[in-house]
A and B are shown apart, each in its own frame.
Chain A
Amino acid sequence: MVHVQGPWSELLGRLSPSAIPNNPIITGAFLFSAVIGIVLLGYVTYAGKWGYLWREWLTTVDHKKIGVMYIIVGLVMLFRGFIDALMMRTQQMLADGPHSAGFLGAAHGYLIPYHFDQIYSAHGTIMILFAATPILVGIMNVVVPLQIGARDMAFPYLNALGLWLTVVGAALIMMSLFLGDFSHAGWVGMTPLTELAYSPGVGVDYWMWAIQIASVGTTLGAANLIATIIKMRAPGMTWGRLPIFTWTALSTNIIALTSFPVLGVSLALLGLDRYFGTHFFTAGMGGNLMLYSNLFWMWGHPEVYFVILPAFGMMSEIIPTFSEKALFGYITMVAASFAIAGVSWSVWLHHFFTMGASPAVNTFFSIATMVVGIPTGVKVFNWAFTIYRGRSRFDTPMMWAIGALFMLLLGGLTGMMLAMPPINYSVHNSVFVVAHFHTMLMVVIYGIMGGVSYWFPKVFGFKLDETLGKRFFWYFTAGTIMVFVPMYLSGFMGMTRRLDYLANPHLLPFEVLEEFGIGLYTVSVYYFVRQLYVSLRDRSENRVGANAWGTGRTLEWMTASPTPFYNFAVTPRVNARDELIWRKEQGFENTLPTQYEDILMPKNTAVPLLIGAFSLALGFGLVWRIWWMTDLSLLGVVLTVIARSFVRVTDYVVGASEVEQIERRSRTRGQSPRPDSRRGGMGVFRPSRSNT
């Protein structure tokens, strides 16, 4: 165990009153979060919703509710990441040129370098691992069991555990804002900067343990989704009939299952360096700091495809629905997804062509990177040919899907440029690279926004407001163009990334344009929130039936919206790739099961939440080096897992007559909106008495 600088006590570890940052910006952020938190808690108490919250959400094992909670966590973190972006853009605009003014104790701009470094590190970590990843995992959670005709995931209890571990990671990151500080070494954690000698504070520890704990959750979730897709398919759902989104979920989770453990190893070895004084990545004593970069990106690049493949899957569901045509090139789409997943393992070195590897090594990784363009190109043409001669309707999900296509074109082409080592050497570490990967991640965000608006009525029983949704789309797109096109230009002119102060005043026009762009983003965030509010307010006018968009093609559009907690009253038998379209053509669209049967469902449990609470204590204890807390919470996790394994009955039976009642009620509601339908859709999720 290494000795750390500064005071340390048996009881509180490194924690002391000086850990609370003294900074007006952070105080403001704290007040903002505190007010929102108090309002939320106050509302729950005032409305007497604690019991509801506990029974229906905190202890649930229902894949749809877990998915919704994943998405909520992701959206909250997306907002936090957006605020970080706003702060960075503003700092770079203010701190441009030697004569730029300084505020709040900074020489230029309003952020001191150490604070600016923490902001970009937090922005990257949050956006990749705590916004994109949870939202995508959430959408896969909601949609995959519905698309394959399953009642729930293969392991519902493990699913809830994955959620709570992700929440622990997000909670640790939020804590770092108000207690101690965050890593200043970039979201990739560059060694040896992350070593204890150069980062003696708790920032790197927060970053490391937040990712480590959340990635355990993601790995478990990946095993769960793969097992679900392989084992829980309805009869007749052969591999050739699997919906494309489920295919991409399978390929993406194979990536997650095999790559997240490598991230775990690289962070654990860094942790050994920081806590036990080993020499894996140190600059002397036989350490090898490029080993860290290699290990990290061996996860990092597959992770990039982990986030983009589900986005491709969502586009592949949205485009056929709104073109009223079967997807063009189903088999090539599946092959392309797995080709991308496979190649994702052999391109990691293009993140550091400048490492100094031999030309042969760089050539290999350069070609492997360019090969990715082939399956991606196949996908783009498949989408284009699906739209071609289709009956296109431009509902909000379709706008996002088409927007994603354009982002993919721009990001893909600049990616091809960066795949060439000679170009890479000259633009390496410039904001050109930043603009490139943000354009690619925009594909993910566009896919997510499309997917959320597409499947929202399935989960909640009413559509999101179309007018505000489109306004959100256009402001968001305008913001994207205004921020990232100038960024490409300034990057090509040599602007280095991660700068808190720009010495070159000629870059100012670009920074002003980008600030204008982020202003458009801010407007779009307003319309997003307003869209949620208006849709919730007017939900009784926007109720939808099972087939919410009228032209749905796959199984999930056959069951009621909102989906009952058991998904399908009777498991459907699948006869075609686009089952719903097949049933329409055969005249079976409204055919109901003649007979209902008892359904076996998993019981709610508080154990995953308890393990999450212990993991939070474990993470907190590790960050602040409070050893009694780490020992006790680790013991708590182990004992809870063992105790849970002794529980014999973890399922309960829903009677056939009850299923029939719920089905009849949801059908009458779908046809004629009754006055009490204003109460909202979550009531049909689960009969309240069965919560044990």
Chain B
Amino acid sequence: MGVSATTASDSGKAGLWAQHHHHDAISTRTLGFWLYMLSDAMIFAGLFATYAVLSHHYNAAGGPTPHDFIHPLYAYGETLAVFTSVLAYGGAMVALRRGHKGGVLAGLGLAFLLGAVFIGMEVNEFSHLLSIGISPERSGYLSAFFALVMTHGIHMAFGLLWMATMFFQVAFQGFTDKVVYRMLNLKVFWHFQAVIWVLVFSFVYMRGVL
């Protein structure tokens, strides 16, 4: 049946078959998740574009404009919550690198709590706005405002759910391949939501009072 694989490589060719060829699961998963984050970035791009288009004063339809209800100082408090949460998650990743389970759990727990503070502040802000009649049904501008900020908020809440799941997986399954790449991917997700919050804070809250 012709030449065997060994003779093929002996004759100076690179060989015909790759014995024991394996792919690195963690790097494949990480790449896949980065690709998913790209699609998430496009969702936010669409929403920011919508917000920009609907920011004209015509789109306020005579209702409240950003000047009337946006408080960057309060949003700055939310920013601090997000950033410290990311910092705590970074601590968990340092502990993960050292293989220190207690450190990972502590970091995750703290990141969860600070993320929950952010969600609490946002819920508080929105319920106040709704109570004084500033609601998404009022105008095109307010629709865009609520859609953008709440999409970010829903992402944050989803991240908290993920963190809670990871807390149990780290506690009961230890650092298996699957747990490790999920921790890495959650890191990407959590940092990305912080980046999006920076954009929300700049384009919605800071620009709102200019």
Question: Is the C-beta of A286 less than 8 angstroms from some C-beta in chain B?
Answer: yes
Chain B residues near A583 (CB, 8 Å)?
16
A75 CB → nearest B CB, Å? 28
Q: In the assembly, what is the distance between CA of A595 and CA of B146, in Å? A: 62
Contact of B4 with A591 in the complex, beta carbons under 8 Å? yes
Contact of A638 with B161 in the complex, beta carbons under 8 Å? yes
Nearest opposing residue in chain B for A225, CB measure: B35
Q: In the assembly, what is the distance between CA of A286 and CA of B145, in Å? A: 13
Chain B residues near A266 (CB, 8 Å)?
46
Contact of B31 with A231 in the complex, beta carbons under 8 Å? yes
Contact of B5 with A265 in the complex, beta carbons under 8 Å? no
Contact of A588 with B140 in the complex, beta carbons under 8 Å? no
Question: Is the C-beta of A375 less than 8 angstroms from some C-beta in chain B?
Answer: no
Q: In the assembly, what is the distance between CA of A638 and CA of B50, in Å? A: 29
Question: Is the C-beta of B15 less than 8 angstroms from some C-beta in chain A?
Answer: yes
Chain B residues near A586 (CB, 8 Å)?
8, 13
A215-260 with Cβ < 8 A to chain B: 219-220, 222-224, 226-227, 230-232, 234-236, 257-260
Contact of B143 with A272 in the complex, beta carbons under 8 Å? yes
| The 4 A-B residue pairs with the shortest CB-CB distance in the complex, in nearest-first order | A286-B140, A265-B46, A278-B143, A286-B61
Q: In the assembly, what is the distance between CA of A465 and CA of B53, in Å? A: 56
Please judge, given known A-B contacts A261-B40, A264-B43, whether A223 and B140 are in contact too, CB under 8 Å: no
Contact of B1 with A223 in the complex, beta carbons under 8 Å? no
Question: Is the C-beta of B3 less than 8 angstroms from some C-beta in chain A?
Answer: yes
Please judge, given known A-B contacts A257-B39, A258-B42, whether A573 and B17 are in contact too, CB under 8 Å: yes
Chain A residues near B144 (CB, 8 Å)?
280
B167-207 with Cβ < 8 A to chain A: 169, 173, 176, 178, 182
Please judge, given known A-B contacts A571-B18, A571-B21, whether A257 and B50 are in contact too, CB under 8 Å: no
Q: In the assembly, what is the distance between CA of A262 and CA of B43, in Å? A: 6
Contact of B43 with A265 in the complex, beta carbons under 8 Å? yes
Pick the residue among A278, A571, A591, A646 that contacts B136 (CB under 8 A): A278
Q: In the assembly, what is the distance between CA of A278 and CA of B5, in Å? A: 67
Q: Which of A287-295, A386-394, A517-525 contacts B (4 or more CB under 8 A)?
A: A287-295
Nearest opposing residue in chain A for B36, CB measure: A223
Question: Could you give, for residues 447-481 of chain A, a 1 whenever the CB lies within 8 Å of some chain B CB and a 0 otherwise?
Answer: 00000000000000000000000000000000000
Chain A residues near B137 (CB, 8 Å)?
276-279
Q: In the assembly, what is the distance between CA of A276 and CA of B138, in Å? A: 11
Contact of B17 with A230 in the complex, beta carbons under 8 Å? no
Contact of A230 with B31 in the complex, beta carbons under 8 Å? yes
Q: In the assembly, what is the distance between CA of A154 and CA of B63, in Å? A: 51
Question: Is the C-beta of B60 less than 8 angstroms from some C-beta in chain A?
Answer: yes
B1-29 with Cβ < 8 A to chain A: 1-6, 8, 13-21, 23-24, 27-29
Contact of B140 with A279 in the complex, beta carbons under 8 Å? yes
Please judge, given known A-B contacts A155-B32, A231-B27, A645-B182, whether A588 and B43 are in contact too, CB under 8 Å: no
Pick the residue among A230, A278, A573, A592 that contacts B15 (CB under 8 A): A573
Chain A residues near B118 (CB, 8 Å)?
none
Chain A residues near B53 (CB, 8 Å)?
288, 291
Chain B residues near A272 (CB, 8 Å)?
136, 143, 147
Contact of B3 with A280 in the complex, beta carbons under 8 Å? no
Can you report 12 residue pairs joining A to B where beta carbons are below 8 Å apart? A223-B35, A226-B35, A258-B38, A261-B40, A269-B143, A285-B139, A286-B61, A286-B139, A288-B54, A295-B49, A589-B2, A594-B5
Contact of B32 with A279 in the complex, beta carbons under 8 Å? no
Pick the residue among A227, A260, A282, A594 that contacts B140 (CB under 8 A): A282
Question: Is the C-beta of A572 less than 8 angstroms from some C-beta in chain B?
Answer: yes
Chain A residues near B23 (CB, 8 Å)?
231-232
Question: Is the C-beta of B124 less than 8 angstroms from some C-beta in chain A?
Answer: no
Nearest opposing residue in chain A for B28, CB measure: A231
Contact of A224 with B32 in the complex, beta carbons under 8 Å? yes
Question: Is the C-beta of A642 less than 8 angstroms from some C-beta in chain B?
Answer: yes
Pick the residue among A226, A257, A279, A594 that contacts B143 (CB under 8 A): A279
Question: Is the C-beta of B131 less than 8 angstroms from some C-beta in chain A?
Answer: no
Question: Is the C-beta of A689 less than 8 angstroms from some C-beta in chain B?
Answer: no
Chain B residues near A570 (CB, 8 Å)?
17-19
Contact of A573 with B18 in the complex, beta carbons under 8 Å? yes
Query: Which one of B15, B16, B139, B173 has the highest number of Cβ atoms from chain A below 10 Å of its Cβ?
Result: B16
A638-656 with Cβ < 8 A to chain B: 638, 642, 645-646, 648
Question: Could you give, for residues 582-609 of chain A, a 1 whenever the CB lies within 8 Å of some chain B CB and a 0 otherwise?
Answer: 0100111111111101000000000000
A residues near B (Cβ < 8 Å) are 154-155, 158, 219-220, 222-224, 226-227, 230-232, 234-236, 257-262, 264-266, 269, 272-273, 276-280, 282, 284-288, 291, 295, 298, 570-573, 575, 583, 586-595, 597, 638, 642, 645-646, 648
Pick the residue among B27, B39, B60, B165 that contacts A260 (CB under 8 A): B39
Chain B residues near A154 (CB, 8 Å)?
28, 32
Question: Is the C-beta of B74 less than 8 angstroms from some C-beta in chain A?
Answer: no
Q: In the assembly, what is the distance between CA of A298 and CA of B49, in Å? A: 12
Q: In the assembly, what is the distance between CA of A575 and CA of B29, in Å? A: 28
Contact of B42 with A261 in the complex, beta carbons under 8 Å? yes
Chain B residues near A287 (CB, 8 Å)?
59, 140, 143
Nearest opposing residue in chain B for A598, CB measure: B20
Chain B residues near A280 (CB, 8 Å)?
50, 54, 140, 143-144, 147
Contact of A591 with B5 in the complex, beta carbons under 8 Å? yes
Contact of A278 with B39 in the complex, beta carbons under 8 Å? no
Question: Is the C-beta of B69 less than 8 angstroms from some C-beta in chain A?
Answer: no
Pick the residue among B16, B29, B136, B141 that contacts A588 (CB under 8 A): B16
Question: Is the C-beta of B76 less than 8 angstroms from some C-beta in chain A?
Answer: no
Nearest opposing residue in chain B for A590, CB measure: B2
Nearest opposing residue in chain B for A569, CB measure: B17
Q: In the assembly, what is the distance between CA of A96 and CA of B34, in Å? A: 55
Chain B residues near A155 (CB, 8 Å)?
28-29, 32
Chain B residues near A575 (CB, 8 Å)?
13-14, 16
Contact of B35 with A257 in the complex, beta carbons under 8 Å? yes
Query: Which one of A266, A273, A591 has the highest number of Cβ atoms from chain B below 10 Å of its Cβ?
Result: A591
Chain B residues near A284 (CB, 8 Å)?
61
Question: Is the C-beta of B126 less than 8 angstroms from some C-beta in chain A?
Answer: no
Q: In the assembly, what is the distance between CA of A593 and CA of B16, in Å? A: 8
Question: Is the C-beta of B47 less than 8 angstroms from some C-beta in chain A?
Answer: yes
Chain A residues near B46 (CB, 8 Å)?
261-262, 264-266, 295, 298
Contact of A227 with B35 in the complex, beta carbons under 8 Å? yes
Nearest opposing residue in chain B for A257, CB measure: B39
Nearest opposing residue in chain A for B176, CB measure: A648
B41-73 with Cβ < 8 A to chain A: 42-43, 45-47, 49-50, 53-54, 58-61, 63
Nearest opposing residue in chain B for A220, CB measure: B36
Pick the residue among A224, A264, A588 that contacts B8 (CB under 8 A): A588
Query: Which one of A232, A260, A287 has the highest number of Cβ atoms from chain B below 10 Å of its Cβ?
Result: A287
Chain B residues near A226 (CB, 8 Å)?
35
Q: In the assembly, what is the distance between CA of A291 and CA of B54, in Å? A: 9
Contact of B35 with A236 in the complex, beta carbons under 8 Å? no
Q: In the assembly, what is the distance between CA of A638 and CA of B154, in Å? A: 14
Chain B residues near A269 (CB, 8 Å)?
50, 143, 147
Please judge, given known A-B contacts A265-B46, A291-B53, A587-B3, whether A279 and B61 are in contact too, CB under 8 Å: yes
Chain B residues near A264 (CB, 8 Å)?
43, 46
